Structure 1
Amino acid sequence: MQMQCYCVTHHGQPLERVEKAVPQPQRTEVLLRVKAAGLCHSDLHIWEGYYDLGGGKKLSLADRGIRLPLTPSHEIAGEIVEAGPDAGDVEIGALVVAHPWIGCGECAACQRGEENLCVQPQSLGIMRDGGFADYVLVPHPRYLVNLGGLDPARVAPLACAGETTYSALKKFGARIHEGPVVVIGAGGLGLMAIEVLKALGGHGAIVVDVDAGKRDAALKAGALAAIDARAPDAAKQIVDATGGGARAVLDLVGATPTVTLALDSCARGGHVVIVGLMGGDITLSLPVIPMRPLKIEGSYVGTLDDLRELVALTRDGKMKPPVVTSRPLAEANDALQALLHGKVVGRTVLVP
């Protein structure tokens, strides 16, 4: 039996529609019929072939072990259709979302449940073929979380947009209850952060973005305020809106101007968590870090437990599922270009 997939065969060139045999699950593998596959900015980086390190430097994806051709998308929801002989008791026909951040299972990070930090990752859609296809192989059933009646298209983004914001916001600890969290970036992750904060009982979000449409979407989603990142007094607006400076800033963009804005708008003792990978560099006056004192931390996606908790929160009605726009898989290239040019509000999912 044949299936279609949309693959990165050459960086920066249109995704190529490829027909190949449906993979057969071996050992503990599980075969999913894809119901929905999300489109993420990480897919853009894979398509482009590099990360911007600032100062004219680039990190090639080939240097990270990513090889082409590759079927992208790590936000995958689907139906279990077949399992390998060692997969155990697998419910054929169940609708699930896949945790894509798969590790080696043996290193220290994997042993403490942080496979997303494994030094030999096997992530779906990055190191292994992902969801822009009719079918996808998942290496073990433990990476599958039952949807319990939820819409696959609405839930698929939890595997990245959800996990990423949930994991990052948890790093602030009690600060999310002490005052508003400043969220830089009102795209799919920004809107998701607003919902996660509500589910966690946080004080609320002040959202910062350059796009008026996205700021409006954030306000409609429940943001306490929305600030234009390009305003000359953006840092002052954040300081005023937070009552003297931000105690917690979540940077979902991760570019030179956004990190600079985050640091400029922090109160003493402020905590900045950087998630975005847009790239660039900054120059820091080192004495300022201990004198203020500031905490700057990176956060990379999330854990299997994070995904299980998010699905449970959504299933129990404590959190709204992400805002999504569904498009046919055949429109993968158009969807990629729309994301590249900043024309997507919320999250795009492709449906085979």
Structure 2
Amino acid sequence: MRAYAVKLFCEPISEIEVANPQPKGTEVVIDVTRCGVCHSDLHLQEGFYDLGGGKKLSLADRGVTPPVVLGHEVLGRLVAKGPDAPVSDDMIGKTFVVYPWLGCGTCEICQRGEENLCAKPCSIGVHRAGGYAEQCLVPHPRYLVDVTGIDPTLAATYACSGLTAFSALKKINIALDRDWLLILGVGGVGLSGLEIARGLGYKNIAVADIDPAKRELALASGASLVVDPRDSDALATLQAKTGGIAAAIDFVGAHATAEFGIAAIRKAGTYVVVGLFGGDITLSIPLLVLRAINLRGSYVGNLGELKELIDLVKQGRVRAMPVEAVPMAQANAALDRLRAGKVKGRLVLERA
């Protein structure tokens, strides 16, 4: 079958031919019809994360070795199963989104349903072949989530951008009707976060983004207030119009956005960083204590959270965000557009 893989870090992905997957044991095969394009794919293509201070985290040192068939926002039809896979006849041919953030499956963390935090990750599209391909092998049907009734191009994005935003939102505890939430960056994941936050009942949402077009999109999507974080009076504007930010979620994860988000939150506020753009944070320990603020990271989400999110979407509580389908053969062009910041919402690769 045809697939698209990173053969060399820092090089365009290549079209390759690989054998069709043959399911064994509990494995199942998904015939891929959609696969989202994520900023994490850019890191996988580059082969490192920027740790700040001139330091880099090599993906090869983390067990990611080319060739890597990219794609972790996988959606498609269930077409085959291994002899031990608990799959009913009516599931064959049905469309599912695939939960990709797999762990070892046996440790205590995996057993309590938090495979995304496993110390031995085996994620689809990272450590095992992903959805930039005609078919994708999944180790067990429990990772398949029914998306009947949801537009398939949109549904694919919930496996990462939607799930990541939803999980981050679950890590804050503020009053939905009166406290202010700040979203830093409204790229694909941040915009998904804005829509999900509105669906969860957040009434007061501020957005910070350096791109005026994205600020306009945020207002059109229901944000109450937008600021350019580069403006010298941006923090003062937030303080004056909100009375203090109760929680900030950073969907960029850069040095500048971290500094802005931490400065923006009020005493005992919460800053959650999601993005992996790169950099570091310098903190004053006395101020950390005196302000009593909470700082935490949030990495994707677990299978239970994906199911919760899909239920919210099916209930009509989460509005659709902008998505654009492009042919899978144009994967390199899609990655280039994403790298250049020329994407409104989310790009999804499509197979006819």
Per the normalisation by structure 2, the TM-score is: 0.97
> 3-state DSSP class of the match of 1:305?
helix
Listed as ranges, the matches of 1:195-274 within 5 Å are: 195-243=195-243, 245-274=244-273
Q: Can you list the C-alpha shifts for 1:142-163, whole angstroms capped at 9, x where unaligned?
A: 0000112222111111001111
CA shift digits 1:93-116 (9 cap, x unpaired): 010000001111121211221100
Q: Are residues 1:348 and 2:328 paired? A: no
After TM superposition, the structure 1 = structure 2 runs for residues 96-115 of structure 1, keeping only pairs within 5 Å, are 96-115=96-115
- Shift of the alpha carbon at 1:180? 2.1
- The one-letter code of the counterpart of 1:258 is T
Q: For 1:200-223, what per-residue CA distance to the aligned partner results, in whole angstroms no more than 9, with x for missing partners?
A: 112232111111111111111111
**Does the alignment pair 1:16 with 2:14?**
yes
The letter for the 1-side match of 2:314 is R
What is the CA–CA distance in structure 2 between the aligned matches of 1:322 and 1:271, rounded to whole Å? 26
Instruction: Give yes or no for contact 1:210–1:229 (8 Å, CA) kept in 2.
Output: yes
Look up the equivalent residue of 1:236 and give its one-letter code. Answer: A
* 2:314 paired residue number: 315
Contact 1:102 1:122 in 2 (8 A): yes
Q: Tell me the CA shift for residue 178 of structure 1.
A: 3.7
Q: How far, CA to CA, are the matches of 1:32 and 1:180 in structure 2?
A: 41
Q: Unmatched 5+ residue regions in structure 2?
A: none
Contact 1:164 1:301 in 2 (8 A): yes
Report how many residues are paired. 349
State yes or no: 1:54 paired with 2:68: no
Once superposed, which parts of structure 1, at least 4 consecutive aligned residues long, lie more than 4 Å away?
none
Q: Which residue of 2 aligns with 1:328?
A: 327
For residues 132-171 of structure 1, the aligned pairs below 5 Å read 132-171=132-171
Shift of 1:241: 2.9
CA distance in 2, matches of 1:92, 1:54: 47
Is the contact made by 1:77 and 1:98 (CA closer than 8 Å) also made in structure 2?
Answer: yes
User: What letter corresponds to residue 18 of structure 1 in structure 2?
Assistant: I
- Whether the 8 Å CA contact 2:28–2:78 is kept in 1: the answer is yes
The equivalent of 1:44 in structure 2 is 42
- d(CA) in 1 for partners of 2:150, 2:30: 17
Conservation of the 8 A alpha-carbon contact between 1:165 and 1:192 = yes
- CA deviation map 1:98-140 (0-9, x unaligned): 0001111121211221100000111100111111111111110
The question of whether the paired residues in 2 share the 8 Å contact of 1:194 and 1:204 is answered with: no
Cα displacement (A) at 1:177: 4.2
- Partners of 2:79 and 2:93 within 8 A in 1: yes
Deviation for aligned residue 1:28: 0.7
Name stretches of at least 5 consecutive residues in structure 1 with no aligned partner.
none
Counterparts in 2 of 1:177 and 1:73: CA distance versus 1, 3 Å: farther
Q: Deviations over 1:153-186 (max 9, x none)?
A: 1111100111111111111123444412100001
Provide the rounded CA distance (Å) in 2 between the counterparts of 1:41 and 1:308.
23
Contact map agreement 2:174 2:246 (CA 8 A) in 1: no
Aligned-partner SS, 1:81? strand
